[in-house]
């Protein structure tokens, strides 16, 4: 799986158990081909006459997951899905999660769905530990559905976030997908928040899109994170869902003002995914002591192309600010593919630096451990 010629110490560092610091839950049920294609295709059906297997992630599934299910690499889609069904979802998921070689999954509890594998079960099947990352929009949704008044909503939000955070290792937000990252950085005024709460309660089942309510949620999450010493994950970059904010509104550079406003709070921030704006994210990680970065879901989505994304992040991001995360979601394959892409991509980047005489093997091994697990252990205090 790794480039030939890598020194043993570097190889060992790359193959060591990872901390996957950002996973979404994956499906536990049996999936039809149509369902499977939707899950690897961002929720949109492929046009007539085409298939989502003709995408970077589709090719990667056939290449890297087929052998985990005892098939030869590049098995045809129908053969792959038939074998997956034959093994059953539980067996397939277990194999794929274990193949990822992950010591700990930090699972984002963004979506509640009986068809999703709970974090504890994901850990058990993957032979790993699991910790929880609280998706603040999910908490907000629960609170909005229950609240009877603006005061109730605002009080409930702070309380429920604190309560959920008590059992978690971090918080996450998808404000970038729901609204875009071009929001006003300042904490909103009390008056505007009360008005926003009133608007929110008029339609609590809708995804939260009101910019004032979102900013209030973010700043409440910052308060909770500061009190508990937890980091905050911010989704950035083009969301895979066609309903998400337009890509140019998800450039993490748009967060600059918010990141500056956050700096005194001492809350570590991790910019997630970021593609195709990962160079901007790397700059932010270099410029601000509390900012970290991963390329998460881009590892899986770009498949064979992930090496360049990882290498571009290495251009500027301090090595102590980069974290491995698979950004897995939908199917267990993505957890495995994220780990494979990360190890192969970082292996190629390190191999090039070694061959060019730019780096020493000792540094290469050390940095592989840092990005693969060490930085996450430090930032999340695992």
Binders of a copy of itself in range 310-329 (CB under 8 A): 311-312, 314-316, 318-321
Scanning residues 327 to 356, which ones bind a copy of itself (CB under 8 A)? Answer: 344, 352-353, 356
Q: How far is the CB of 30 from a copy of itself (least distance, A)?
A: 25
Look at residues 256, 134, 237 and name the one whose alpha carbon lies nearest to residue 183: 256
Q: How many residues bind a copy of itself (CB under 8 A)?
A: 72
Give the three-state DSSP class for 132.
strand
Q: In sequence order, what are the residues at sequence separation of 6 or more whose Cβ sits closer than 8 angstroms to the Cβ of residue 149?
A: 201
C-alpha–C-alpha distance, residues 128 and 126, integer Å = 5
Q: Give the max Cα distance, the chain.
A: 65
Look at residues 14, 10, 15 and name the one whose alpha carbon lies nearest to residue 354: 10
Q: How far is the CB of 144 from a copy of itself (least distance, A)?
A: 26
- The reply to whether 362 sits near a copy of itself by the rule CB under 8 A is yes
Q: How far is the CB of 278 from a copy of itself (least distance, A)?
A: 9
- The reply to whether 199 sits near a copy of itself by the rule CB under 8 A is no
Q: How far is the CB of 29 from a copy of itself (least distance, A)?
A: 25
Q: How far is the CB of 353 from a copy of itself (least distance, A)?
A: 5
- The reply to whether 284 sits near a copy of itself by the rule CB under 8 A is yes
- The reply to whether 363 sits near a copy of itself by the rule CB under 8 A is yes
Q: How far is the CB of 59 from a copy of itself (least distance, A)?
A: 6
C-alpha–C-alpha distance, residues 15 and 35, integer Å = 32
Beta bridge partners of 126: none
Between 28 and 244, CB nearer to a copy of itself: 244
| Site map 31..70 versus a copy of itself, x via CB under 8 A | ----------xx-xxxx-xxxx-xxx--xx--x-------
The secondary structure element, H or E, covering residue 234 is strand 232-236
Q: How far is the CB of 173 from a copy of itself (least distance, A)?
A: 19
Between 233 and 256, CB nearer to a copy of itself: 256
C-alpha–C-alpha distance, residues 356 and 213, integer Å = 51
CB 90 within 8 A of CB 98: no
| Site map 117..136 versus a copy of itself, x via CB under 8 A | --------------------
- The reply to whether 184 sits near a copy of itself by the rule CB under 8 A is no
C-alpha–C-alpha distance, residues 118 and 111, integer Å = 10
Give the total residue count for the chain. Answer: 382
Scanning residues 288 to 307, which ones bind a copy of itself (CB under 8 A)? Answer: 288-290, 301-306
Look at residues 284, 134, 288 and name the one whose alpha carbon lies nearest to residue 217: 134
């Amino acid at each position: 799986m790794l480039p030939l010629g890598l020194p043993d110490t570097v190889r060992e560092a790359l193959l060591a158990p990872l901390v996957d610091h950002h996973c979404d839950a994956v499906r536990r049920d049996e999936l039809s081909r149509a369902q499977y294609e939707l899950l690897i295709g961002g929720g949109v059906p492929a046009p007539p006459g085409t298939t989502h297997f003709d995408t970077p992630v589709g090719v990667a599934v056939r290449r890297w997951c087929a052998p985990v299910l005892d098939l030869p690499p590049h098995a045809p889609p129908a053969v792959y899905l038939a074998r997956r069904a034959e093994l059953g979802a539980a067996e397939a998921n277990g194999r794929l999660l274990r193949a990822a070689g992950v010591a700990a999954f930090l699972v984002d509890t963004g979506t509640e769905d009986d068809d999703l594998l709970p974090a504890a079960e994901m850990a058990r099947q993957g032979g790993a530990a699991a910790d929880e990352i609280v998706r603040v929009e999910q908490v907000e949704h629960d609170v909005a559905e229950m609240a009877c008044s603006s005061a109730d909503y605002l009080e409930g939000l702070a309380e429920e976030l604190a309560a959920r955070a008590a059992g978690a290792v971090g918080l996450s937000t998808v404000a970038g997908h729901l609204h875009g990252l071009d929001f006003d950085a300042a904490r909103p005024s009390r008056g505007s928040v009360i008005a926003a709460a009133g608007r929110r309660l008029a339609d609590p089942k809708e995804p939260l899109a009101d910019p004032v309510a979102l900013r209030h949620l973010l700043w409440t999450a910052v308060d909770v994170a500061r009190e508990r010493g937890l980091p905050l994950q911010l989704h950035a970059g083009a969301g895979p869902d066609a309903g998400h904010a337009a890509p140019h509104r998800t450039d993490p550079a748009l967060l600059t003002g918010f990141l500056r406003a956050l700096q005194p709070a001492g809350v570590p921030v991790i910019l997630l995914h970021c593609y195709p704006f990962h160079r901007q994210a790397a700059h932010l990680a270099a410029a601000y002591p509390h900012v970290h970065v991963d390329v998460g879901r881009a590892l899986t989505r770009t498949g064979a192309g992930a090496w360049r994304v990882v290498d571009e992040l290495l251009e500027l991001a301090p090595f102590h600010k980069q974290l491995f995360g698979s950004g897995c979601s939908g199917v267990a394959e993505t957890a495995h593919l994220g780990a494979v892409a990360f190890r192969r991509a970082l292996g190629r980047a390190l191999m090039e630096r070694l061959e060019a005489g730019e780096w020493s093997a000792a540094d290469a091994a050390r940095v592989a451990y840092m990005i693969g697990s060490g930085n996450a252990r430090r930032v999340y205090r695992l």
